[in-house]
Structure 1
Amino acid sequence: MAVVCVLALAFVLLLPLTQSRGEAGADLGGQRTTQGIQAKAAKCQESTVQDQSPPPSDADGTTINAIKQRGYLNVGVDQNSYRWGYLNPNSSGELEGFDIDLVHAIAKNIFGSSYSPSKVHLLAIPTDQRIPAIQKKRVDMVVRTMTINCERAGKVAFSAPYFVTGQQVLAPKVSTITGYNDTLARKRVCSAATSIANTRLHADKGHKIPATVDILEPVPNQLDCLVELQLGQADAVVTDGALAASQAAQDPTVELKGAPFTTEYYGVAMNKSATDLVQRVNRILETYRTSTGPDGWHASYTKWLLPTLRADSTSADPPTPHYK
């Protein structure tokens, strides 16, 4: 039954989507307090790449003015990550989730009193198309559980981080796999194309994990790995722990195995030329992270992620921003 349900869900979620969705985010305008800590610019290092975003600013610039003149914000999102960005077949069919809440908070700040959900155009894009969509300016930004790293930071601009997580293993409860370790020997492991997980698997094979690990051909979307797991075509999945927890919530026959083996930060990705937009998003995130109201970070976490990540998770509080 679990296989049938998820396959049906995957079919619904993979339908094309380019439309306005979601509820209004918080009105974050007018806030001026900088919460971050200034950090000196340096050669990109994976341990500090999340600290290299420019400082917050309320100023409009070329990019923001163009968005206002156009009349809507184009955002690349996921539509098949449960509780992050997904079409809920049990509701009105609207896109819902933690990332979707953030999108509308950003749009509400940019458009101010003229904001309405119709001013947000959501474009569902697969994992491996996030960077091309930004570079080709098909979207103004991508809000799609996108980890900040040096390779990506060389191609797109990132906001300061809004979420912290780490890579983790997902496998059937009955599996002998216990984590990212020797128990993966001779196991078939699934990951998404261009994902951190896929990169780590290839880098760690023969070192941190056995050389006999069978790294499967990467799939376009993370949900495809869950389907492969259910169909018996994969023995394990490696992905962000936050996403893996949501997949475990979709199928009670699978579970997280072992602790996270990396520390990673999600950021809002934008075009390299859109410095004014990056700085505005950083300003919005400052208030969004600290808001105690119904439209802030903690309220969104409680609604979408608390049921799967719990209150004691290392992801239960937003990371403190540092700027270059």
Structure 2
Amino acid sequence: MRRARTGTLVAVAALVAGLLGAGGPAGGPAVGAGGGAPARAADVSADVAVKVAADVAGITGVAGVANVADVASVAADDCDTGVSLPPGQRVGAKIQEIRRRGRLVVGVDQSAYNWGYRDSQTGKIEGFDIDLARAVAKSVLGDPDKVVLKTISTADRINVLKGHQVDLIARAMTVTCERKKQIAFSAPYFKVSQRVVAPKAAHATSVAQALGGKRVCAALNSSSHTELKADPHGAASIVTPDNQLDCLVLMELGEADATLSDSSLAAAMVAQDQTMELAGESFLPTYMGVGMNQDDTDLIAWVNQVLVEWRGGGWQASYDTWLRPSMGVPDPYRPW
């Protein structure tokens, strides 16, 4: 299997911190899980549990880059999906814009079970990514409810960021080198890999068996779609709906034989429909990050500061509420 690079920042942080005026920790605690969780599937077996262990110890980095051009060169020539700007709080142009507006506009999912989905009983969009969005709103605006959740499809994520239609995207978005050429990402907040979901009735025990000669589904413009275009893994055809949940529906209808997804959404599918299972091994490990426009350097650094604080308690509380039933106990040493 091909492997994505997922190391940590080793050279650029000290310089960029000076350029951005990265400050100290934000005042006020991070936001944890809000409200009661809806009824969910029972705990699944250990082989379904997905460990989360993204090494972000190098986010504060060390000096060693001469100038801004060198920073860009490092990003372009030596892509590292664990690299982001150092955490800090500087009220630059983007933070000023958000505060004038009085609302943080966040692109989210409404169909990713436990991550960002609309509860059928309350009508509210809830989940792990929504907790994160509210933590950012609280830090920037002082109120976790000062947020507009704008639902967008998997296929449109890059375009809405480049078009300034949202301030950021918290939508189970995988960091890839190709995407980093177009948008910016926060520091990692979850470790993921590629996983196959298939009906239990298929009895697939490997990726090759699950995908070989099959109709394989992946959301349009997702990292899984990109992987299948580069390496079909023996798939007979590729089905590309706009959203990942559509893949689950297509499998339930018998119109797709398997789905390739990142491990976070794969576990959510299995939790949502227990006739499905994770088939075969995981591969292509990488991270999930908050997506932002490359021009918004003050917001990028600010979100990274929020993540530093969120990991101090909010991350675990949110994980326990939304994800632990389907993903097991995270690595206690590095749960992100």
TM-score, normalised on structure 2?
A: 0.77
Counterpart of 1:18? none
Contact 1:301 1:316 in 2 (8 A): no
Counterpart of 2:81? 49
Cα distance in structure 2, aligned partners of 1:309 and 1:261: 17
Counterpart of 1:38? 61
Cα distance in structure 1, aligned partners of 2:173 and 2:335: 15
Cα distance in structure 2, aligned partners of 1:175 and 1:245: 18
Cα distance in structure 2, aligned partners of 1:305 and 1:201: 27
Query: C-alpha deviations, 1:52-98, integer Å up to 9, x for none?
Result: x11111111100001001111111000000000001113x2111100
Query: C-alpha deviations, 1:19-68, integer Å up to 9, x for none?
Result: xxxxxxxxx83279x963416642446872321x1111111110000100
TM-superposed deviation, 1:181: 1.7
Cα distance in structure 1, aligned partners of 2:90 and 2:144: 21
Cα distance in structure 2, aligned partners of 1:81 and 1:122: 14
Is 2:148 aligned against 1:111? no
Counterpart of 1:299? 317
Aligned-pair Cα RMSD in Å:
2.2
Cα distance in structure 2, aligned partners of 1:217 and 1:315: 37
Cα distance in structure 1, aligned partners of 2:326 and 2:78: 28
Match of 2:248 among 221, 226, 242: 226
Pair 227,46 (structure 1): closer, same or farther in 2 beyond 3 Å: farther
Cα distance in structure 1, aligned partners of 2:144 and 2:327: 31
Aligned residues: 276
Pair 228,199 (structure 1): closer, same or farther in 2 beyond 3 Å: same
Query: C-alpha deviations, 1:214-242, integer Å up to 9, x for none?
Result: 23231100000000000001110000111
Counterpart of 2:43? none
Structure 1, unpaired ranges of 5+: 1-27, 320-324
Contact 1:298 1:317 in 2 (8 A): no
Provide the secondary structure at the position in 2 that maps to 1:258: strand
| Percent of residue pairs bearing the same amino acid type | 42
Structure 2, unpaired ranges of 5+: 1-24, 30-55, 65-70
Contact 2:197 2:259 in 1 (8 A): yes
Pair 232,158 (structure 1): closer, same or farther in 2 beyond 3 Å: same
- After TM superposition, list the pairs within 5 Å mapping 1:1-324 onto structure 2: 29-30=26-27, 36-38=59-61, 41=71, 42-44=74-76, 48-51=80-83, 53-90=84-121, 92-112=122-142, 115=143, 117=145, 119-205=146-232, 209-210=233-234, 213-291=235-313, 296-311=314-329, 313=330, 317-319=334-336
TM-score, normalised on structure 1?
A: 0.80
Contact 2:198 2:210 in 1 (8 A): no
Contact 2:115 2:129 in 1 (8 A): yes
Contact 1:187 1:235 in 2 (8 A): yes
Specify the code of the residue in structure 2 equivalent to 1:143: A
Provide the secondary structure at the position in 2 that maps to 1:285: helix
Contact 1:81 1:223 in 2 (8 A): yes
Specify the code of the residue in structure 1 equivalent to 2:206: G
Specify the code of the residue in structure 2 equivalent to 1:48: D
Deviates more, 1:41-50 or 1:270-279: 41-50
